[in-house]
Amino acid sequence: MTPFRDYHHLVTTRPHDVQQVMISDLHLSASEPALVQAFLSLLSDLQALPQLRCLYILGDWFDAWIGDDAYLSLSDAEKANHWITPLIEQLKQLRLQGCDIFVMHGNRDFLIGQPFCNTFGGLLIDEPYDIQIGSQHFRLEHGDALCTDDHAYQRFRKLMRNRLVQWYLLNKSLEKRQKIAAKMRQKSKTDTARKTEFIMDVNEGAVAQVMLAYDGLLHGHTHRPDIHPVPNSSQSISIKQSIVANNKDDTENTHKTRYVLGDWRVLNSGTSREKVEAVIGVVVAEADEVTSDETFMMVCYTN
């Protein structure tokens, strides 16, 4: 049974409670119109939420981003027919309604710049990004930096995040950049086919380390949506002592939580009505108005 709640339930029964929404790994491209449509549907749903104040896009919004100029340098006529333009229009509308839009880099779109985000009034944010949800301190990140067992990827990441390398790449023509991106995709495909699932997941030690200062960690990238309890290492010694002393395991209060957002999936690819599913994060106001607290939950969004 899925541990995630149904998103439309929230829209129809608790629209006034939804305050923030977190998504990642949409991998949007011209070649997957069903995903683009699903994102537009989500944006239209979000516009109907009166209390929504933040939308976070936590990386890999696009399947491959070769530079803002690929879109920004187009003529008005070209932009008018471009698949990205309706997204910008809907995001602009959401922004006008008072919702802040935060964009974080992923491993596919690390070249997104603030100039592109300016087209809809969004803000490019660095990872990790800290937010407070109720009494909980959350860390938001894409998730690829936590996959420390994937040494080949970490070397590639370090290179791609180097400012000088990015400057060098961005100074190449768009055609050349398209070719480089295609080569990278091809190499990544052959490499990932050979890597084990374990290597491509987050490293538990890396997670424990970054979570020392947080109550919750929220990331995407691994395409394994789930909710994981993480042992609270600062308390683990005293818990063990307490278990030994009292012969009772009071671990209930001793874990933090790692939430993994899902990638956006076309469920019935090739059919006339393709359905998309995505596990997203939602922050809702608690029913108790006295505390005016907020809670994070993972919900399944379908269109």
Summarize as ranges the residues that interact with ligand LP5 (CB under 6 A). 64-66, 107-108, 111, 144, 147, 150, 152-153, 156, 169, 177, 180-181, 183-185, 187-188, 191-192, 195, 200
Task: Report the alpha-carbon distance of residue 198 to residue 189 in Å, rounded.
Answer: 17
221 contacts: CB under 8 Å, gap ≥ 6? 24, 25, 59, 60, 106, 107, 142, 143, 144, 147
Using the minimum distance from each CB to Mn ion, give the nearer residue, 221 or 265: 221
Choose among Mn ion, ligand LP5, none what residue 188 binds, the Cβ cut-off being 5 to 8 Å by kind.
Answer: ligand LP5
Would you say 27 and 185 are in contact if contact means Cβ atoms under 8 Å apart?
no
Choose among ligand LP5, Mn ion, none what residue 185 binds, the Cβ cut-off being 5 to 8 Å by kind.
Answer: ligand LP5
Q: How far is the CB of 134 from ligand LP5 (least distance, A)?
A: 31
Taking CB under 5 A as the criterion, the residue among 67, 106, 128, 216 binding Mn ion is: 106
What is the β-pairing status of strands 216-219 and 255-260? parallel
Q: How far is the CB of 153 from ligand LP5 (least distance, A)?
A: 4
Using the minimum distance from each CB to ligand LP5, give the nearer residue, 223 or 256: 223
Which residue sits closest to Mn ion, CB atoms considered?
221
Q: How far is the CB of 296 from Mn ion (least distance, A)?
A: 21
Q: Is residue 60 involved in binding Mn ion (CB under 5 A)?
A: yes
Q: How far is the CB of 222 from ligand LP5 (least distance, A)?
A: 7
Would you say 95 and 121 are in contact if contact means Cβ atoms under 8 Å apart?
yes
Choose among Mn ion, ligand LP5, none what residue 106 binds, the Cβ cut-off being 5 to 8 Å by kind.
Answer: Mn ion
The pair of structure tokens assigned to 164 is 């000088």
Q: How far is the CB of 151 from ligand LP5 (least distance, A)?
A: 9
Using the minimum distance from each CB to Mn ion, give the nearer residue, 170 or 200: 200
Interface with Mn ion: number of residues (CB under 5 A) = 4
Distances from the Cα of 251 to the Cα of 204, 232, 234, angstroms: 18, 9, 13
Q: How far is the CB of 45 from ligand LP5 (least distance, A)?
A: 27
Q: Which residue has the tokens 């935060």?
A: 102
Task: Report the alpha-carbon distance of residue 286 to residue 178 in Å, rounded.
Answer: 47
283 contacts: CB under 8 Å, gap ≥ 6? 18, 19, 20, 21, 22, 54, 133, 294, 295, 296, 297
Task: Report the alpha-carbon distance of residue 19 to residue 295 in Å, rounded.
Answer: 10
Q: Is residue 201 involved in binding Mn ion (CB under 5 A)?
A: no
Q: How far is the CB of 71 from ligand LP5 (least distance, A)?
A: 14
Taking CB under 5 A as the criterion, the residue among 221, 223, 258, 265 binding Mn ion is: 221
231 prior amide bond cis, ω within 30: no
Binding site for Mn ion (CB under 5 A): 60, 106-107, 221
